Structure formats: C-alpha cells, structure tokens
Amino acid sequence: MSTFVAVDQIEKIFSLSGGGQYIALKGIDLEIKKGEFVSLIGHSGCGKSTLLNMIAGLDFPTDGLVTLEGKRIDQPGPDRMVVFQNYSLLPWLTVRENIALAVDQVLTELPKSERKQIIKQHIDLVGLRHAADKQPGQLSGGMKQRVAIARALAIRPKLLLLDEPFGALDALTRGNLQEQLMQICEENEVTAVMVTHDVDEAVLLSDRIVMLTNGPSSKIGGILEVDIPRPRQRMEVVNHPSYYSLRSEIIYFLNQQKRIKKLRARKVGAIARHGLEKVNLDVGFVPLTACAPLIVAQEKGFFLKHGLDEVNLVRETSWRGIVDGMAGGYLDAAQMPSGMPVWLTVGGHQDTPLPIVSALTMTRNGNAITLAKSFYEQGIYTAADFKQALLESTDQHHTLGIVHPSSMHNILLRYWLAAAGIDPDRDVSLKTIPPAQMIADLKAGSIDGYCVGEPWNLRAAIEEIGFTVATDLEIWQGHPAKVLGVREEWAAAYPNTHIALVKALLEACRYCTDAANADEIRQLLAQRHYVGTRAEYIHLGNPNLATCSLEQPMREYAHHLFYGEGANRPSRTEHLWMMTQMARWNDIPFPRNWVEILERVCRVNVFSTAAREIGILDVKYRREPIRLLDEIEFDAEDPIGYLNRLPIKRHFSVAEVIINAHRSAA
C-alpha cells in the first residue's frame, strides 16, 4: 500500500518573547497509509497537537516537509478536516445548519438536492435525526461531538484529524462515540490521525500508535503496531492476547518519559573536583541482591572516598529502563547484565550501535531457574524431566520469564533448555518481565517459571509458589553476572572519573565478600528505595552445594561471588562467548569484526589501573576454558565453528558492525 501522508524530517521552532527559541519537534519521520488509523500519544507539551496542525495545514514546519498524496501541504483545505475537543459549533445554528454550512461551502459543485441528502445522511450516520433542529445549547457534550464528527465527514475529506475529540466526555458517552467512530471509519475507509492522552482509547481505535518523547526537541520514541483484528468491540478487545502487552508498552513509555523529565530537571553540567573531570553522577541499578556493590559504595562512603561527592543511585524497575537511560544519556553509568555492553555496542537496541565499555565485573553467579510448584508435585526435578513433561503435554503451552535478551538469565536459561533437547523458541515461550514482577506472574499462573537473579528464586521457595530446579552453578560455575557499563564517549570525556568509579565499586565488592558484613548489607538492601523486600529473602554468600537440594523445605538460593581471584577483571573471552550465544538465538548478528568490538567493550587497562591504585596487585587472569553443563568446550579462536557445532540454534547471520563513535585510549 502506497504512502498517503508523509511527514519528512519535520522540525518546528517557536520564537520566544525574550528573543530565544523553543524547539518543539525535531527529526519527525512518519508515513501513513490510506485507510489507516494512527494515534499520537505522549505527555502534555510533547508536540502532538503541533504535529496534527501541520498535517492539517493550520501551522507550518520550520524545516522539513508534509505531503498528502505526494503534494506539499502549505495551507488548510477541505481534503483535511479537524475535529477539536471543544466541538467548534456555531451556537445560533441548528445541528442541520452547522453541517449544512460546511457542505454548502465545500461541495458547491453539487446540486442543492444532493447536498441536502448528504446532510441528512450524515445526521443519521451519527444518530441525531431526533435532534436535527436543535441548537448546540440544547445538546449534551456527546451529541455536540457527534455533530462535529458528522460535519467533518460530510464534506468527504481525504483525511480526518482528531484532536482529543472525546477528552471532555464522560466514560459511557466516550465509549459509545469511540465505537461509532470505528464503525464510520471502517465502513467509509477513512484515513484518520488522532491526538489522545488515553491509553485504552489508543489501543482500541488505532492501527498504529506513535509515541512522542518529551519536549523540547520531541521526537518519535517508538511506533506500536496494533495487531488486534477488526471489527473491534470495546468490551471484547481486552480479551485479545496483545491488548495488555500493548497497553503495558505505552504505560511503560509514558512513565519512563515522566522519569526522564525529572532527571532532566535536576541534571546539571559536569562538576570537576579532586582532580576528577566529573564528581556528580547518576548511576542506574535494578533492585536485585546483585546491586549490593552500588548500595555499599553509597552507604559505606566508598564513592566519597574516591572523590565522587554527588552520586545519585537511580532505581530502575527493569533492564529496559537501564537501556533507555544509557541511550538517552540520562545515566552516567549503570549496573548491567553481563551481555548488555556487547548487545548495545553491536546495535541490539533499535538496530543502532551504542558503544558501551565495561571495566569491572561486579558479580559472578547469583542466578537460578525457578519452576512453579506444580512441576515439583509432578516429580519434575531436572531439565530432562521438564522435556518429558513438554512431550506429554498436549493442550498447554508453557511460558518462562526472562529479564532481557542480553542478560545472562536469558542466555543460561536457553542453554539449559537446549542442552536437554528443548528448543527455547519452539517448545516453550520466553517472555521478558521485570525481575520484581516474576513472583506476581508466577502466582497468577501467567508464567510457568523463570530465570532471574536473587532474591526472587529464594522468595518463590519460601512462599511455596515455586522451587529452584537449577542454580547457575550447575550450568556455568563462575559466569559473569552483572558488570559496570558506561558509554564509550563518556569514558573518553571523563577518564579519571571512570577510574575512580571502578575503584569505589571494586572496594565495595571486596566489602560485600566479607562474611562479617553480610547482615549489615542485607538490612541495607532490604530498604524500600533499594531492593525493597524482607531481609530474610536476601543472601550474599555461598552456603550451599553447587547442585541444588530438593529436600523439604526447599531453601536453595543462588551463589553470589562479589570478589576474589580474577573475579572482577573483565574477560574478552567471556564477552565473546556471550556474543556467540546472542547470535545463536538471533538477538544480534555475529559481528565479523568481533575482535574490534571486544577491544572497545572490554577495558582491562581501566580495571588494572583502578586495582593497582587501591593496592590490589595480585589480580590474576582467569584462564580456565569456558565449559558448561553439556561439556561442549568454547573455542575462542574459532567462534563461528563453535556456533556451528551447537545442535539447537537459529540460522544466525554474520555482519560487519560499523560504529562511528568516540574511542578512548584506555
């Protein structure tokens, strides 16, 4: 289907009274097909109505081009009709006369009798025959809006533009009008663009939902395809499998924009002090036991000790929030799943390379696979048992939770399944869920298990809703779990600050591994603004055997390693292995220039400098080969050959990854 409306690299700048400028929209690209219903959603001030007005020809871009059927829009026209929230009816005219005014002005070439018939037809279309001779003052709000819609449609526009048309109506009236509008648009193949603040309205009415970021310089933050088939019924659409995922996606986006706005408001320029280029940092973390080094560095004064006077720890509910914070530049640094630096660097996020460097492994191990208690009751204690249960299941599709495509949770769960002959994409479904939501979803029965970091495995066992079927030690003992990540350009701009940050966190890692500090750290992590759970769910050390016990009561928890010989030194071999696994499942292409990628991501020099400056001189390189539970040894000299030897995988691609960004000398 060809493009009907094209918005090409639109920029809109408003002049301010004091002589300055306000950039409302920047770099807006959008194509709308004939017969499509598109909604624009975002917070107030993001430029939704400004964009709508430029499509209508009521306003004009400072730069860029808007076209309708290939012709530039440079003035208002009857081929585009706008329905405003305030109805815009003439109060001294009746319903019939308000519609007639538009029809008689636009359709002048038609005979009077035909125009009269069109007016009558559109009054009937919106169910207002009984009120045709009433003035607006005698109508309810919903009836007035129906008149506005009828007037807009009566002149047979090519494009219907709606600016929060139902915002002032009560819920029942709004719902009825939404269904009428859907029916009218479908029966008449109307192309429509609507501005709305209502998430449910956007999902109900739209073919696509365009989400705009905060202003100034608002841009398109994402476009959602609504795959709910038409015709749609308002009371039935909630039963479609995509409804709540679409709704959640929009709500996440809007909440994230709200958080970004707060971060922007408090953001100040780099403050240099103590020989450091920047001492005021926003550092992201996700509430897990593995965030302990960040919390300890803050609470025990390690940041202050190394000159980082103003560190703000930003609590994100999901790894996606970390990605958004790094991509948007709102975070200076972040705790990351160990695969995320490579994933971002090669373009895992929106197919755009974002070079990330990692100079510290903050934790090893600490993850586990939990299944619902019902599996334990069926005698399913191993991956082989789980495979047999899948083979015997004829009417149930099993869903397992992961936290992010680049996370070791996803990689280890897939490896555990594939090693048992279970295809993680075909025999089960994997669903991305924030870590803290896993328990609620397992209780609700919307997932059958998950792979996540602590404390969410131990908590499932204590609350008797799940059990740990495998710890990560059974899959790969000593694997990297969480790392420190910063943008490459940031590392180049603030090299001394980067080293200070690694020093502070390395000291915190050492503090975490001392058993004498365990109870204190558990109480710190349990606080609401950190992990926000009961201290009994939080454990740091390694009191269990590598293989989990299924004896009752089950109290198995994963084994965190925060510090030790070679534990914190970043390893290019490990990053390469994670790269092969993400390529194995088509999360990224395998980069042909993988040596360059690893050199840019893995900053051993920064780690070595930081370790030496705090007196850690005996750091050794972990030289043992990577070998997991299936005993297939990883050959770092031939990663493609290794990938080809793996029995279950997708058809992976190999591609050169072009990264045009800063390179630090470190």
Give pLDDT, residue 282: 94
Domains of the chain: 36-65+73-259 (3.40.50.300), 270-364+479-539+561-655 (3.40.190.10), 367-476 (3.40.190.10)
Looking at every residue in the chain, the average pLDDT score rounds to 88
Give pLDDT, residue 546: 39
pLDDT at 417 over 90: yes
Give pLDDT, residue 178: 83
pTM reported for the whole predicted model:
0.79
Predicted confidence band at 664 (pLDDT cuts at 50, 70, 90)?
A: very low
Give pLDDT, residue 666: 36
User: At residue 160, what is the residue type?
Assistant: L
- Contacts of residue 24, Cβ cutoff 8 Å, sequence gap at least 6: 12, 13, 14, 47, 50, 215, 216, 218
pLDDT at 506 over 70: yes
Structure tokens given for 333? 């640094």
pLDDT at 453 over 50: yes
% of the chain exceeding 70 in pLDDT: 94
Q: Among 31-40, 183-192, 430-439, 487-496, whose mean pLDDT is lowest?
A: 183-192
Three-state DSSP at 350 gives coil
Three-state DSSP at 391 gives helix
Tell me the mean pLDDT in the region 56-70: 92
Higher local confidence (pLDDT), 336 or 468: 336
Tell me the mean pLDDT in the region 483-489: 97
- Rounded-to-integer distance, Cα 433 and Cα 80, Å: 42
Q: Name the phi and psi angles at 473, rounded to 5.
A: -65, -30
* Longest CA pairwise span in the chain (Å): 95
Give pLDDT, residue 90: 87
Give pLDDT, residue 623: 64
Tell me the mean pLDDT in the region 326-338: 94
Euclidean distance between the first and the last CA atom of the chain, given in angstroms as a whole number: 51
- Rounded-to-integer distance, Cα 491 and Cα 357, Å: 8
Q: Is cis: bond before 287, omega within 30 of 0?
A: no
> For the segment 248-261, what is each residue's pLDDT rounded down to a tens digit?
889 989 988 888 88
Give pLDDT, residue 164: 84
Summarize the chain as % helix, strand, coil (round to 5): 40, 20, 40
pLDDT at 166 over 70: yes
* Phi-psi sector, 88: left (phi>0), alpha (psi -120 to 50), beta: left
Tell me the mean pLDDT in the region 270-274: 91
User: Which residue stretches of 155-242 are H helix?
Assistant: 171-188, 199-205
- Rounded-to-integer distance, Cα 394 and Cα 530, Å: 43
Contact 394, 508 (CB under 8 A): no
- Rounded-to-integer distance, Cα 318 and Cα 289, Å: 14
Give pLDDT, residue 604: 94
- Contacts of residue 140, Cβ cutoff 8 Å, sequence gap at least 6: 173
Supply angle C-alpha 276, 281, 286, rounded to 5: 140
User: At residue 513, what is the residue type?
Assistant: T
Predicted confidence band at 494 (pLDDT cuts at 50, 70, 90)?
A: very high
Tell me the mean pLDDT in the region 512-540: 90
Top-confidence range, 25-29, 495-499, 534-538, 622-626? 495-499
- Rounded-to-integer distance, Cα 466 and Cα 439, Å: 9
- Rounded-to-integer distance, Cα 379 and Cα 406, Å: 32
Contact 106, 78 (CB under 8 A): yes
Give pLDDT, residue 584: 97
- Name the one residue in this structure whose structure tokens are 């309810």: 140
Predicted confidence band at 551 (pLDDT cuts at 50, 70, 90)?
A: low
3-state SS record for 41-69: ECCCCCCHHHHHHHHHCCCCCCEEEEEEC
Nearest Cα residue to 591 out of 659, 666, 662, 663 = 659
Q: Among 171-175, 290-294, 358-362, 546-550, whose mean pLDDT is lowest?
A: 546-550
pLDDT at 474 over 90: no
Nearest Cα residue to 242 out of 203, 210, 197 = 203
> For the segment 398-415, what is each residue's pLDDT rounded down to a tens digit?
999 999 999 999 999 999
pLDDT at 663 over 60: no
Tell me the mean pLDDT in the region 132-154: 83
Per DSSP, the residues of 284-301 read: EE-SSGGGHHHHHHHHTT
Nearest Cα residue to 374 out of 353, 393, 347, 352 = 393
pLDDT at 662 over 60: no
User: Which residue stretches of 231-368 are H helix?
Assistant: 243-266, 292-299, 302-305, 319-327, 340-345
pLDDT at 557 over 70: no
Tell me the mean pLDDT in the region 12-33: 90
- Rounded-to-integer distance, Cα 470 and Cα 453, Å: 12
Strand order in the sheet with 429-432: 429-432, 399-402, 449-453, 367-372, 466-471
Give pLDDT, residue 1: 55
Decide the pairing of beta strands 333-337 and 399-402. unpaired
Decide the pairing of beta strands 37-41 and 208-212. parallel
Tell me the mean pLDDT in the region 172-188: 79
Higher local confidence (pLDDT), 170 or 645: 645
Tell me the mean pLDDT in the region 137-141: 85
Q: Among 231-240, 269-278, 416-425, whose mean pLDDT is lowest?
A: 231-240
Distance from the Cα of residue 295 to its chain's centroid: 24
Q: What is the CA radius of gyration of the chain?
A: 29
pLDDT at 542 over 70: no
Tell me the mean pLDDT in the region 139-152: 82
Strand order in the sheet with 63-68: 21-33, 3-15, 63-68, 71-72
- Contacts of residue 97, Cβ cutoff 8 Å, sequence gap at least 6: 90
Contact 132, 184 (CB under 8 A): no
pLDDT at 665 over 50: no
Element at 150 (helix H, strand E) = helix 141-154
Higher local confidence (pLDDT), 622 or 426: 426
Three-state DSSP at 360 gives strand
Nearest Cα residue to 95 out of 130, 126, 136, 127 = 136
> For the segment 366-397, what is each residue's pLDDT rounded down to a tens digit?
899 999 999 999 999 899 999 998 888 776 78
